[in-house]
Homo-oligomer: A and B are copies of this chain.
Amino acid sequence: MPRAGLTIDVVVREAARIIDDRGAEGLSLSAVAESLGVRVPSLYKHVDGMPALRRGAMLLAKTGLAAALSDAAIGRSRDQALTAISIAYRKWALEHPGLYPLSVSAPVNGDEDDIAASSTLVETVFRVLAGYGLEGDDAVDATRFLRAALHGYVALETSGGFAMPVDLERSFLRLIASVEAALDSWTKS
């Protein structure tokens, strides 16, 4: 039996690919094993079963989305930064329709990697809002508003929740504009 050259990275990345292809429900050890040309039990030499596979994919989702956002924010501030990260957020989600939902799962208590990845993600959004001069509870409220708008839109869009035949791009740009207007006058509301 020649070696297949698997590593934990290869296995988890294949799992992520399958999730994006067939959705989170479509992930199974059989599917991963078949894709990698290997028998199911062999996977256990690299990952600790199904839960670990899901956790790995979830971490890929959080770090991948966070990287896309911070990349988009480079060299911009206020409305420019907000527009850039919003568009990057939606773009990443559309490119990773299966992985995306994992990126919003609450960090698991005690899982340091998960907590770190989740923090990085929220911090990126939080920092952009710092440019609006928001502090303390105002900043928290605003971050929640922005995250809600972005997550709600892409969650509905990727799950097929927007049925009307009206341009999805345009609706999203108007959403961004509305959020920006709200943030510009945030402390007054």
Question: Contact residues of A with B, CB < 8 Å?
Answer: 104-107, 118, 122, 137, 140-141, 144-145, 147-153, 155-156, 159-164, 166-167, 170-171, 174-175, 177-179, 181-182, 185, 189
Contact = CB atoms under 8 A, between A and B. Distances in A.
Contacts of A105: 159, 161
Contact of A178 (B145, B150, B164): B145
Q: How many chain copies does the complex carry?
A: 2
A113 to B, nearest CB: 16
Contacts of A140: 164, 166, 171
Interface of A is mostly: helix
A140 B162 CA distance: 9
A152 B147 contact: yes
B141 A148 contact: no
A107 B179 CA distance: 28
A155 B161 contact: no
Given A149-B149, A153-B152, A182-B182, A174 B141 contact: yes
9 contacts: A104-B161, A106-B160, A106-B161, A141-B175, A149-B149, A150-B152, A151-B152, A151-B155, A174-B189
A46 to B, nearest CB: 24
